[in-house]
Chains A and B, each alone.
Chain A
């Protein structure tokens, strides 16, 4: 396959109560729990999207990252073929543990469908797709560590084979209050070259 050059149009990092867009801090709070940080971020974005409060932490993390990157992109009158390629290490384990706790004690057995549905990592892709009306290719992968090589190659395949016009990539890791999200939009034009060396560098920022 003759690879045409692809570019990172913009990128967003969420960690340590801070949100960076293209390397610049755009929002931060004092050290606080993720539930509080995510709520304050939602308020900062001046959103009116009550579904946000039903999401689990992994979905909130991915959703907020996508919001920063796609808020200028969304155009509901036009079909937007932006694929989603996401990955992490802990899958939905944070919610899995919560759900397991709700069924492990016969005396205190209260399985909830509202929790159970989030015991799948790809639910966050559904949440982003719904918000931005992305009827597009989507897949969720699990790796032991951040894997820029795979992410680069797979998103280029989607662009090369015309399965997508753009690709929103994301490493969205959440387990037990430890979190990091690194999301970026890959396009056929732009200024930052899309390759694994640069992805490594931007991830570490």
Chain B
């Protein structure tokens, strides 16, 4: 008998709220975190991004600890984890693991020629020490699937009986490093991003931290993790497969493990970065699986692309969608701009959600899909 695995606690720190309830309220009212920023230290010309206000961050952090020697990203991550560790009452012993997902961690330290803080194991150690985890941190750095891949890895480790509880935090911040990089790819949108739209021109970057508790204990379960897959395109390192091969296979693998058919999925929280190639690839993969009529959204219109945080942040919001039986609008969408039909959510509506699918794709040809089932 394979162990059942649940997500029992969730939290997120984003520009539109420092807890799940305020994020859901803002999403319900179509309030986006994306704004025009004039920050020459980050980028030479004004740019759209979803950035957490420093004053708000410091105020919230001061309520948790009087310590001050933490980076912005560390503060975001600590704030995301702190309430769920406290609320869960899980003992941080050798049966409790800690996974940290990020793409670039404290890469901003390199601006001051500080190498040591840029090591991801150092970042993990700082967060782990703050909470006094007893096990060695597991860091996942697998491009833009990192956040959702962590859920898949956590589920597998619990099923293998290595741990009973795993706290995951996923975070990334907007930096000169990533802004210049995405801009060099000509992948940045001049306006707030418009996933799946004919008018989309690229990504808007964002920052966030999200945290969940993955557990074998059904008590307080919000959702069950039913199946997952994380399969490479084997096609190109900086662009998705034209046929969506890796995403197609990842979803197929997740559905097979969950033993459910594609027509049982009620909602898809997709990746939708708003680059021409990504959104097109997703539409092709979903059509190949017969998922084209399932209501879907990309939350990038609210948060921008939060890189290693995005998969977990969007899972946290997706879980809340399922619990509240609400489909949220895919902000920024207007006229369909992919070659295959997909059912992009155009207005908020109530809909019974039992199964939902989370997907993500990223550089290096990586893809991850996880199927969740509401717990009755």
B140 and A137 form a contact (CB under 8 A): no
Tell me which of A9-17, A41-49, A117-125, A179-187 binds B: A117-125
Stretch of A20-28, A31-39, A143-151, A193-201 that contacts chain B: A143-151
- Whose C-beta in chain A lies nearest to the C-beta of B105? A91
- Interface status of A53 (Cβ within 8 A of chain B): no
- B165 close to A (CB within 8 Å): no
Cβ contact within 8 Å between A122 and B180: no
Which residues of chain A are within 8 angstroms of B237 by Cβ–Cβ distance? 117, 123, 126-127, 130
CB–CB B156/A144 < 8 A: no
Are A116 and B161 in contact, with the CB atoms below 8 A? no
Q: Enumerate B176-218 residues with CB–CB distance to A below 8 Å.
A: 176-177, 180-181, 183-185
A130-B234, A135-B245 known; A121 vs B141 contact (CB < 8 Å) = yes
Question: Is B289 an interface position by the 8 A CB rule?
Answer: no
* Residue among B125, B141, B157, B253 making CB contact with A157, cutoff 8 Å: B157
Given the complex of chains A and B, what is the CA–CA distance between A140 and B351 in angstroms? 37
A103 to B235, CA, bound (A): 29
CB <8 Å contact, A93 and B119: yes
Closest A residue to B250 by beta carbon equals A137
Question: From residue A159, how far is it (CB to closest CB) to chain B in Å?
Answer: 11
Report the separation of the CA atoms of residues A157 and B364 in the bound assembly, to the nearest whole angstrom. 23
B238 touches A153 (CB 8 A): no
Q: How many residues of B are counted as interface, with CB atoms below 8 angstroms from the partner's CB atoms? A: 57
Name the B residues within 8 Å of A121 (CB-CB).
141-142
Mask, B351-376, CB within 8 Å of A = 1, is 00000000000111110000000000
Q: What is the CA–CA distance of A111 and B177 in the complex, to the nearest angstrom?
A: 9
Is the C-beta of A188 less than 8 angstroms from some C-beta in chain B?
Answer: no
**1/0 contact string of A52-92 vs chain B (CB within 8 Å):** 00000000000000000000000000000000100001110
Task: Using known A-B contacts A99-B177, A113-B238, A141-B139, determine if residue A134 contacts B363 with beta carbons closer than 8 Å.
Answer: no
> Which residue of A is nearest B108, CB measured?
A100
Q: Is B136 in contact with chain A by the CB < 8 A criterion?
A: yes
Which secondary structure characterizes the binding site on chain A? mixed
Q: Is B36 an interface residue (CB 8 A)?
A: no
Interface residues on A, range: 35 or more
Nearest CB on B from A16, distance (A): 23
Question: Whole-angstrom distance from the CB of B40 to the nearest CB of chain A?
Answer: 10
* Interface pair A134/B234, CB less than 8 Å apart: yes
With a cutoff of 8 Å between Cβ atoms, the chain A residues found around residue B231 in the complex are 135-138
Residue from the list B110, B181, B233, B364 in contact with A113, Cβ < 8 A: B181
In the complex, residue of chain A having the shortest beta-carbon distance to the beta carbon of B241: A135
In the complex, B107 has a CB within 8 A of chain A: yes
Bound CA span A25–B365, Å: 33
Contact A120 to B149, CB < 8 A, known contacts A126-B237, A154-B156, A157-B160: no
A-B contact pairs, 16 of them (CB 8 A): A89-B121, A104-B111, A113-B181, A122-B141, A126-B364, A126-B366, A133-B234, A135-B231, A135-B233, A137-B230, A138-B231, A140-B141, A141-B138, A141-B140, A153-B160, A156-B160
For the complex with contacts A132-B234, A135-B232, A135-B245, 17 further pairs of A-B residues with Cβ separation under 8 Å are A1-B2, A89-B119, A103-B177, A106-B44, A120-B143, A122-B364, A125-B364, A130-B365, A135-B249, A137-B230, A139-B149, A141-B139, A142-B140, A154-B156, A154-B157, A156-B160, A161-B159
B residues with a Cβ closer than 8 A to A are 2, 44, 103-105, 107, 110-111, 115, 118-121, 124-125, 136, 138-143, 149, 153, 156-157, 159-162, 176-177, 180-181, 183-185, 229-238, 245-246, 249, 253, 257, 362-366
